[in-house]
């Protein structure tokens, strides 16, 4: 009897550990699944001007000192990617290399403008530390309020005629690129794409 109990106990231990490992593996697979089936795209949260509306026109000074007009019809028909970030947002920092590569590869039709608010000194330090001096960097509370930016990093794509062609919360490269795809497809947001709404 005692022998049988000992053996049963040993077998149970082995099976408990095997089951625990199986549960761990399953949980990981579920996590991967969530990631894969989620259509990668910038989530449109909050309010502010709608996609398709003319972008509010702002005249702002860049950190470098030049004057920049955001929104409105542009003679050269170039688009503008307005990227809202903050020096205290870790995810924003992970997107800096992506912004560098977008600036290079999309240079033919796109200007990238970084926008934030706060004191000039801390942002000058931030620009220097992160090596993002070649971007137009604007500090304007009005701009953030105008687009009603609630969460960072947030990006707004303005086309050459001054209309908003896409916008959304951008946590990674796929999200940022989804804005360009949205512009090409004429879809307002990932929500609209999933629901098959035709906004074009």
Nearer to another protein, 41 or 49 (CB): 41
Residue 3's H or E segment, with its range, is helix 2-37
Choices 13-21, 72-80, 104-112, 126-134 (CB under 8 A): range interacting with another protein: 13-21
Beta bridge partners, 169, equal 43, 154
Contact between residue 21 and residue 33 where contact means Cβ atoms under 8 Å apart = no
From 7, 8, 11, 27, residue interacting with another protein (rule: CB under 8 A):
27
| Alpha-carbon gap, residue 55 to 167, rounded angstroms | 11
Contacting another protein within 142-171 (CB under 8 A): 151
From 7, 8, 11, 21, residue interacting with another protein (rule: CB under 8 A):
21
Choices 29-37, 55-63, 120-128, 138-146 (CB under 8 A): range interacting with another protein: 29-37
Nearer to another protein, 42 or 70 (CB): 42
How deeply is 4 buried, as exposed, middle or buried, from its count of CB atoms within 10 A (0-12, 13-18, 19+)? exposed
From 24, 107, 125, 145, residue interacting with another protein (rule: CB under 8 A):
24
CB of 26 to another protein, least distance (A): 8
| Alpha-carbon gap, residue 167 to 81, rounded angstroms | 9
Would you count residue 39 as binding another protein (CB under 8 A)? yes
| Complete DSSP assignment for 66-108 | -EEEESS--TT--EEEEEE--TT-HHHHHTHHHHHHHHHHTTT
- Residue 182 CA, chain-centre distance (Å), reads 13
Nearer to another protein, 24 or 107 (CB): 24
| Alpha-carbon gap, residue 147 to 70, rounded angstroms | 12
Contacting another protein within 82-121 (CB under 8 A): 88, 90
Would you count residue 30 as binding another protein (CB under 8 A)? yes
Residues near another protein (CB under 8 A): 13, 16-17, 20-21, 23-24, 26-28, 30-31, 34-35, 37-39, 41, 43, 88, 90, 151, 190-191, 194
């Amino acid at each position: 009897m005692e022998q049988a109990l000992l053996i049963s106990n040993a077998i149970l231990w082995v099976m408990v550990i095997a089951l625990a490992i199986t549960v761990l593996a399953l949980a990981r697979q579920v996590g991967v699944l969530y990631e894969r089936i989620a259509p990668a795209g910038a989530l449109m949260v909050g309010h502010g001007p709608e996609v398709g509306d003319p972008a509010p026109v702002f005249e702002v000074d860049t950190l470098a000192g030049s004057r920049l007009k955001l929104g409105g019809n542009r003679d050269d028909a170039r688009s503008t990617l307005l990227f809202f970030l903050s020096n205290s947002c870790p995810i924003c920092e992970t997107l800096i290399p992506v912004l560098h590569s977008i600036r290079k590869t999309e240079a033919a039709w796109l200007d990238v403008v970084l926008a934030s608010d706060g004191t000039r000194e801390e942002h000058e330090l931030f620009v220097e530390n992160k090596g993002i001096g070649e971007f137009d960097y604007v500090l304007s509370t009005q701009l953030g309020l105008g687009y009603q930016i609630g969460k960072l990093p947030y990006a707004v794509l303005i086309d050459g005629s001054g209309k908003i062609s896409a916008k959304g919360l951008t946590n990674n490269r796929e999200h940022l690129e989804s804005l360009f795809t949205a512009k090409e497809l004429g879809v307002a947001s990932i929500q609209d794409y999933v629901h098959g709404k035709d906004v074009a």
